[in-house]
Amino acid sequence: AQTVTQSQPEMSVQEAETVTLSCTYDTSESDYYLFWYKQPPSRQMILVIRQEAYKQQNATENRFSVNFQKAAKSFSLKISDSQLGDAAMYFCAYRSAWGSGGSNYKLTFGKGTLLTVNP
Amino acid sequence: GAGVSQSPRYKVAKRGQDVALRCDPISGHVSLFWYQQALGQGPEFLTYFQNEAQLDKSGLPSDRFFAERPEGSVSTLKIQRTQQEDSAVYLCASSLRRWDAGQPQHFGDGTRLSIL
């Protein structure tokens, strides 16, 4: 079974600065997807960024980028120019690329990192 | 278009009561997932539907939990004889296609269930 570990329960950053959230995972599979989701206090889980394991290039979405190290099984999220609206719980999630009947398409989440942005 | 809608947003029940939680996925989405999120934790998978077929229910904690999606759209998660440990946020998610594991899951706001 796959596991996802987020070792930082809480992080804080000053507005306009950069912060990196850590995530490691354990899997024996070679093909999979990794995601970062943001969950504000309103609770709706919002996709921030997605990485395909077979792609070498790190994914980027505006101010959000990842550092994907497949051999080390590490998938960190960098938020540049942090804004007050970035404050939320951030979850790293893993999803197998293959599986019969869709059973491997479930997301496996880490415990999350609570990000505070200070003005 | 509308996102995933869940109701009720909050539910308080006494221990031993039955509850039903509703999920309206995005129109046309084939895949539907239920997750349970305990306080301070990440969501954990409960069950998965592809249209009306429940293909994976390996995450359901006990036989008190039952989910259905009879017409391949709206889904209901039912918990019988609720226990205090059932208190959690229940999240529903949907995605468009069956065989593309890279596509995102779109989440609802969740139902916060409190068992007294």
Q: What is the pLDDT of residues A45-57, one digit of tens each?
A: 999 999 999 888 9
**Section A57-65 average pLDDT:** 94
Smallest CA–CA distance, residue B41 to chain A, in Å, is 5
Q: What is the pLDDT of residues B8-52, one digit of tens each?
A: 999 999 999 999 999 999 999 999 999 999 998 999 999 999 999
Q: Does B102 touch chain A (CB under 8 A)?
A: yes
- C-alpha–C-alpha distance, residues A40 and B82, integer Å: 28
Question: For residue A1, what pLDDT is reported?
Answer: 76
Say yes or no for a CB contact (<8 Å) between A109 and B42. Answer: yes
Question: For residue A98, what pLDDT is reported?
Answer: 73
Please report the beta strands in chain A, taking only residues with DSSP state E, as ranges in sequence order: 3-5, 10-14, 19-21, 24-26, 32-39, 46-52, 60-61, 64-69, 74-79, 88-96, 108-109, 113-118
Closest CB to B55 among A4, A95, A103 = A103
Say yes or no for a CB contact (<8 Å) between B45 and A102. Answer: no
Q: Which chain B residues are within 8 Å of A35, Cβ to Cβ?
A: 104
Question: For residue B99, what pLDDT is reported?
Answer: 62
- Name the residue of chain B whose CA is nearest to A90's CA: B42
Q: What is the pLDDT of residues A19-43, one digit of tens each?
A: 999 999 999 888 899 999 999 987 7
Q: What is the pLDDT of residues A77-99, one digit of tens each?
A: 999 999 999 999 999 999 988 76
- Best of B46, B91, B105 to mutate (most A CBs within 10 Å, chain A): B105
Does the pLDDT of residue B98 top 80, yes or no?
no
Say if strands A24-26 and B10-13 run parallel, antiparallel, or are unpaired: unpaired
